[in-house]
Amino acid sequence: MKNKEFKVGVFAVLTLVALYYGFYFLKGIDFFSTTTKYYIIYENTNSLAVSNPVKVSGFAIGRVSDIRIMPERNHKVLVEIDIDSKIKLGDSTKAILDSELLGGNFIVLSIGPIQRVKKPGDTIRAELAPGMFDLLVNTAGPVASNLQTTLGKFNIVIDNLSRNSQRLDSIFHKLQSTPDILNATLLNANDKITVVSGNFTDVASNLNGTLNDLKPTLRNLAAISDSLKQIELNKTIVRTQQTLASLNETLGRLKKGDNTMSKLLTEDTLYVNLNRLLVRMDSLVEHINHYPKHFTAPLGKSHKKVERDLKKMEEERKKKAATPAKTN
């Protein structure tokens, strides 16, 4: 019996301990991590409760551990928070009290740049997030001012319309007589249009008659133009044929070979003779240059002396040809 009672007692203790830790775990208390306490002073906590989360960038890093009223400071509210000791806060940190659409409240820490790290137990600057009503007020303010300005301008327009009502009445009175004037103008214009239409019809009929009369003339002019073109073309063809006949006759004579031009074209006798003449003239000029006395002496030289000089000149020419030219 005692063993059973001991077991029941141990089981009851363990159950109570599990319930205790489970209750606080559901409230956001983590017994296996170190936390740091900070304090915030609000004018109004807006139904903030213990165990509400404390967030940084949308991530829960702690919870609200205690909320107390401060009668000595005009009944302001002191909020105690426990956050993860790994999170460092500085002078620029703000604790913004915000709420969700369905009524859940939480604190958002805006850390900002850190120049001096806050110590555990320090107070963080409090700030309230703008609610739905504040947004409506901020949005409705400009709308109301614009609406008021618009109403003022509308009143000015109504005043101007009331002042100009007499002018509008006179304009409408004048507009009543405008249809009669317009009808009279249209009647006069209709008569004139009828006269112009008749004149135009007469002109068109006359123009058609004139064109009908001009059609034979235009046909004759076209026929004459075609005849002139045909005559000029025939003359050109006849002249071309005559030129081609003359050219064929000339080419036929050149092919026969019984005239000077055909012989020049078909035989090389003249070319050979001219080439020999040029060679001999070149030899004669060279002979005159080397032995001018053969031609300028009063009685000249004997034939043997001339041949001897020619042989000598030929030997000198061969020596010059055999001697290589000096390079510069």
- 94-131 confidence digits (pLDDT tens): 999 888 766 578 899 988 888 888 888 899 998 887 75
Share above pLDDT 90 across residues of the chain, in percent, rounded to a whole number:
8
Confidence of residue 41 (pLDDT cuts 50, 70, 90): very high
Structure tokens at 199: 């004149």
Please, what is the Cα angle at 40 between 35 and 45, to 5 degrees? 115
**Enclosing domain of residue 208:** 162-254
Residue 20 lies in a domain: yes
Within this chain, do residues 231 and 198 fall inside the same structural domain, yes or no?
yes
Of 4-18, 37-51, 266-280, 284-298, least confident by mean pLDDT is 284-298
Within this chain, do residues 112 and 63 fall inside the same structural domain, yes or no?
yes
Residue 318 lies in a domain: no
Q: How does pLDDT run across 313-324, given as a tens digit for each residue? A: 778 777 877 776
172 or 263, higher pLDDT = 172
191 or 64, higher pLDDT = 64
Residue 245 lies in a domain: yes
Number of domains in the chain: 4
When pLDDT is averaged across residues 290-310 and rounded to a whole number, the result is 65
117 or 273, higher pLDDT = 117
Integer angstrom CA distances of residue 238 from 28, 54, 246, 252: 124, 118, 13, 21
Within this chain, do residues 18 and 86 fall inside the same structural domain, yes or no?
no
Residues 6 or more apart whose Cβ sits within 8 Å of residue 95: 40, 79, 81, 107, 108, 109, 124, 125, 126, 127
Give the C-alpha separation, 220 to 2, whole Å.
Answer: 151
Give the per-residue pLDDT at 299.
54
What is the identity of the amino acid at 47?
A: S
Residue 144 lies in a domain: no
Within this chain, do residues 93 and 45 fall inside the same structural domain, yes or no?
yes
Of 130, 151, 186, the residue that ends a domain is 130
Of 51-65, 98-112, 281-295, least confident by mean pLDDT is 281-295
Residue 293 has pLDDT above 60, yes or no: yes
Within this chain, do residues 122 and 203 fall inside the same structural domain, yes or no?
no
Residue 137 lies in a domain: no
Structure tokens at 250: 């000339």
Within this chain, do residues 28 and 38 fall inside the same structural domain, yes or no?
no
Give the per-residue pLDDT at 101.
65
Within this chain, do residues 6 and 63 fall inside the same structural domain, yes or no?
no
Residues 6 or more apart whose Cβ sits within 8 Å of residue 310: 287
Give the C-alpha separation, 20 to 31, whole Å.
Answer: 11
Give the per-residue pLDDT at 38.
92
Residue 153 lies in a domain: no
Within this chain, do residues 99 and 26 fall inside the same structural domain, yes or no?
no
279 or 141, higher pLDDT = 279
Within this chain, do residues 7 and 22 fall inside the same structural domain, yes or no?
yes
244 or 163, higher pLDDT = 244
Confidence of residue 327 (pLDDT cuts 50, 70, 90): very low
Give the C-alpha separation, 289 to 317, whole Å.
Answer: 14
Residue 124 lies in a domain: yes
Within this chain, do residues 38 and 125 fall inside the same structural domain, yes or no?
yes
Give the per-residue pLDDT at 133.
45
Within this chain, do residues 180 and 215 fall inside the same structural domain, yes or no?
yes
Within this chain, do residues 211 and 243 fall inside the same structural domain, yes or no?
yes
Confidence of residue 42 (pLDDT cuts 50, 70, 90): very high
Give the per-residue pLDDT at 78.
93
Residue 261 lies in a domain: no
Assess contact for 47 and 103: CB atoms under 8 A: yes
